[in-house]
Amino acid sequence: MREVNPAALAIARRRDRLRFRPGTRKGPLYGIPILLKDNIATADGQATTAGSPALAHALAVRDAHVAARLRRAGAILLGKANLTEFANWTTVGMPSGYSALGGQVLNPYAPAVDADGIPIVPPGGSSSGSAVAAAANLAAATVGTETAGSLLNPACNNALVTVKPTVGLVSRAGILPIAASQDTAGPLARTVRDAAILLGALAGYDRRDPATLAVRGRIPADYTAFLDPNGLAGRRIGVPSDPADAENDIYWRALAPDQRRIMDEVVARLETLGAVVVKANIPTAGRIGGPGAMIEVPVTNPFSPSKGKRMPMPAVLIYEFKHGLAAYLADYVPDGPVRTLKDVIAANDAAAVPPRFGQDLLLAAEATRGDLTEPAYHAARALDLELSRPQGLDAYFDRWQLDAVLFPAALGNGIAARAGYPSVGVPAGWRHEVEGRPTPPYPYGISFTGRAWSEPTLLAIAYAWEQANPVRQPPPTAPELA
């Protein structure tokens, strides 16, 4: 937790008093405590900081659209969850769940840290606090955000269900961004049903976000209507693993032995549940994140094994961050002392304690013009779209007539995020080691990715999997509430 809403108990008491009063408007989340990732603006006296000390007192003048929708649905906004600082866009190699303002989030299944205070089993990021809070029963459900993996990764590491929506299904207005072309908010919950209910509350048109124009007529009245225990029967599921095409066999070839064992069991189980499994590589998998789409960033993080080297990072994110941050601050924190990325960097430089892991990515973004006019930006974005959509996932779905693609954990986040396509993450199994080092049992998840606006199909698949494979257990550090 980064901050608890001081009004939460008063709001809860008021909800209780009105619960049975005739005429009281009650939404689907009436009285339900929901926790927000600390990059989602709320105009209720809580700061929206993204984990940065430079924004410690950044009070938004209005709610983010998703926060406003949750209030209308009757939810109690319980507080702000810690996150990987700036949604993991501060420096190369920052540990997941760390922010200079909020400290280090720990995995509730295996909370041990090494000699440097870095988790041995990561909590996953960047929606680390949101995921851990849901897993540890600190809220009924939580909301996180994803640019590339930041919902799927922590869900898979904490035995949770998440929906990373199609970009445009959920408004991005009022969410402190990395890259608007890929950003989205989504639910983190303990069951598929809970995730479906929360997704329904989040999804909707917003005049402040032009991407949501496309949702009109696409949002069902109730996502839970698609939850079918037989939802895998006859579904064609792509398994992007063909060792004969080594260049594109990138999702399975790097799996550790225990991860591969879990995935082999998952594939076999899908078939017993009636799915048709198609093993074939995505044609552009090996080219995603290749030349033309990346910018090399010098690494100064003293804890990174890559210190002193240059690491390729997604160009679209580097170019869009500076522009998006300035736009967010101007619109939601217009009177704050921090107005630009340059101000954030200056505040970090002036701090009594310098950023522990550096600020390589902030510096790389500051070196751009910040107006999205660079030809290199447009070329990188066009390449990302071409390789992820028509030559990538679209070609893969069409060639094999697929309903969804199965990925180990969050490994498919890169191609799905660039395409703006949806994914659903669900628990699948348990690991007992990290790089050969024994650990307490901790979760391992899987994700299903679909075409744009295919959330109903993905939820049906995930629900059928969950009902046949009740993997989730509460963490020993936080047993289920009575």
Torsion of CA 188, 191, 197, 200, to 10 degrees: 50
- pLDDT tens profile 420-450: 999 999 999 999 999 889 999 999 999 999 9
Q: DSSP string spanning 150-219?
A: TTHHHHHHTT-EEEEPPBTTB--TTB--S-TTT-EEEEEESSHHHHHHHHHHH----TT-GGGGGGTTTS
> Residue 109 has what pLDDT?
97
> Residue 378 has what pLDDT?
98
Q: Pairing between strand 33-37 and 76-81?
A: parallel
- pTM tops 0.85, yes or no: yes
> Residue 257 has what pLDDT?
96
Report DSSP state, residue 134: H
Rounded Cα distance, 131 and 153, in Å: 9
Name the residue ranges covered by the structural domains of the chain: 3-468
Rounded Cα distance, 189 and 169, in Å: 18
> Residue 25 has what pLDDT?
81
Q: Is 369 exposed, middle or buried (0-12, 13-18, 19+ CB in 10 A)?
A: exposed
Among all residues, which ones are annotated catalytic? 37, 126, 150
Residue ranges with strand state E in 367-475: 404-408, 423-434, 437-449
Within a 13 Å sphere around the CA of 143, how many CA atoms are in the beta-carbon half?
Answer: 38
> Residue 411 has what pLDDT?
98
Rounded Cα distance, 351 and 45, in Å: 25
CATH class of 3-468: alpha beta
> Residue 26 has what pLDDT?
87
pLDDT under 70: residue ranges of the chain = 482
Rounded Cα distance, 143 and 148, in Å: 16
